[in-house]
Amino acid sequence: MNFDLDAFRQYPLATIVWVAIGVTLLLSLLFRTYTGIVRYTSVADIGRISCLGAFCAVLYYYIDSSRILAPNRDVFPLSVIVINFFISTVIWLSYRLVVKWFFRFYWRKSNENKIRAAIYNTGHCGLMVRKGIAEDRNVDIRVVAFLENGWALAGKRLEGLPIYSACTASLQRLAKQERVKLLIIADEQIEPALLNELVDQCVALNIRVQKVLPVDKWINTGWNNNQLKDVNIEDLLERSVIEIQNKQISRELEGKSVLVTGAAGSIGSELVRQLVKQNPGAVIICDKAESPLYELELELSDIAPDLPVVPFIGNVCDRNRMQQLFEIYNPSIVYHAAAYKHVPMMEKNPSIAVLNNVMGTKVLAEIAVQFDVEKFVMVSTDKAVNPTNVMGASKRIAEIFTQSYNHYLHDRFQKMGNVGEVPPTRFITTRFGNVLGSNGSVIPRFKKQLEHGGPLTVTHPDITRYFMTIPEACQLVLEAGAMGHGGEIFVFDMGMPVKISDLAKKMIRMSGKEPGKDIQIIYSGLRPGEKLYEELLNTAENTMPTYHEKILIARVREYDFMEVEESIKQLINSAHKHYITPTVALMKKLVPEFISKNSAYEQLDKDKIKI
């Protein structure tokens, strides 16, 4: 009204004030605009306030057009309603924004001594991490930038923070201009190659790299520093994780009694954890280690409280004890993971390797056939291929026994008139490389050496190994049980082997140290029986494809079971007497490709050549 005071007096101002207050209060209660914490004003709050203003305008217009307050005149001119909508909405929002900016400015002053960080990921996860950190005053981190792969968003801003490209020049600017000391990886699907590159560049710039847990694991409890975890060396191995999704596994296991030997070990325990998800009828966990078996039983009571889990302390070499197990629980499927696996230890104790790895497998296999077990899945190793040590040879002999036993049973079953049918018990083998994080593996050993300030011990500058994760290894075992028809050896295409010296250097750099300067690497020489390069398949073997491009079936030489059984009896008799050299000589006779390396048993190979 052009600020004409006389024009204002023509309206019932007192009535208008009470109506405006009543309408605003009523709609505020309806839209709950008062519930939003002012300093945390969000898009949802802005939406509620805008709706409040719009509905107020609609009510004013309705009151005016219905002539409730003044039958003969307008109380709320349309121009006033429109002007009121914009002014009131701007004031409501401005109040919240001013408060929000004040707190942000106040916190920024108090954040000067906090660790300056950048977040890799401009998507939902990155924004949630940034919000969680910004809203927790107890966190000692201040996010100052975002990082994104590619150039599409580089140079733009997100929530007021600059976005940088994940390249060397951008990381250098982050370190110099933004003084970033921490890079938070908020992308769960980041490729190992890119993560490797980021870690290498950040280590060179003295920027620490950490990964954040998946958002759904902390969104309900709120943010704290425990959501950040250091990047593990396992995350940096440049190989894609092999995923297996086979519904046949559940169908094979559902409702059945399942036995896992060596259940307290790193492979056996993870195998049990995956088994309980398949709804078996019962799981018998067998091991001779009392404390780890007890701990596994407690863990299973938490994750599968309704599943019958039977802890059974026993040695697979004890035929009477294993007989008792099968008589009481009558398992339908057996996963045989019990074995001695450390190469240097078995090189010094060959008779024990034979008794545990060969005789234990023989005892368990024979009892499994006696009680009509459906499938017997044996866990083997890549060290069984062209073995150069006692441990690998013992596992190869166990493979030979189960395969030849499977063929013998199949032939006998066919001769009994069951043509086209499979025998009651089928033997299947899985063979894989070194398992990340398993007991005694190289990465935990390097971590312990780093904790003590080094040095890191590597046996040879050129030594390489294949690696896989424990869950992958156990998936292979389960898949073999579901896919196998009997007599197969399943192997993984494990990608490229990893050089152990490079692994050691990377772990040193990730700890903030410099190889050769802060932490030394010592080359101790190959241990007895140790290879420079592991093989997954014998050079004389062929492979057959399966439904999965990374899972193959090795076609190996077949052995006559009667000859194998007689040779293994002689081998076990020698091992029982703990004869060392004769035992190894019999192993070499059974496995002609067993050629010792860097071992006292090399003389046996020379004598064999002379003969």
Specify which residues 163 forms β-bridges with. 146
> Under a CB-based contact definition with an 8 Å cutoff, are residues 186 and 121 in contact?
yes
CA–CA gap between residue 84 and residue 260 (Å, rounded): 75
Q: Catalytic site residue 247?
A: no
3-state secondary structure 278-309: HCCCEEEEEECCHHHHHHHHHHHHHHCCCCCE
Vertex 73: Cα angle to 69 and 78 (nearest 5): 90
CA–CA gap between residue 210 and residue 147 (Å, rounded): 14
Is it true that the peptide bond before 461 is cis, omega within 30 degrees of 0? no
CA–CA gap between residue 610 and residue 242 (Å, rounded): 46
Alpha carbon 69 to chain centroid, angstroms? 69
CA–CA gap between residue 269 and residue 435 (Å, rounded): 13
- Residue identified by tokens 């008062």 is 34
CB atoms near residue 11 (< 10 Å): 18
Q: Which among 211, 341, 375, 383 is annotated as catalytic?
A: 383
Q: What single-letter amino acid sits at 101?
A: W
Tokens linked to 232:
């593990």
Long-range CB contacts for residues 493-496, cutoff 8 Å, separation at least 24: 493/549, 493/550, 493/551, 493/552, 494/239, 494/432, 494/433, 494/466, 494/467, 494/468, 494/536, 495/238, 495/239, 495/240, 495/466, 496/238, 496/239
- Residue identified by tokens 């190994």 is 465
> Under a CB-based contact definition with an 8 Å cutoff, are residues 280 and 258 in contact?
yes
CA–CA gap between residue 341 and residue 345 (Å, rounded): 8
Active site residues: 383
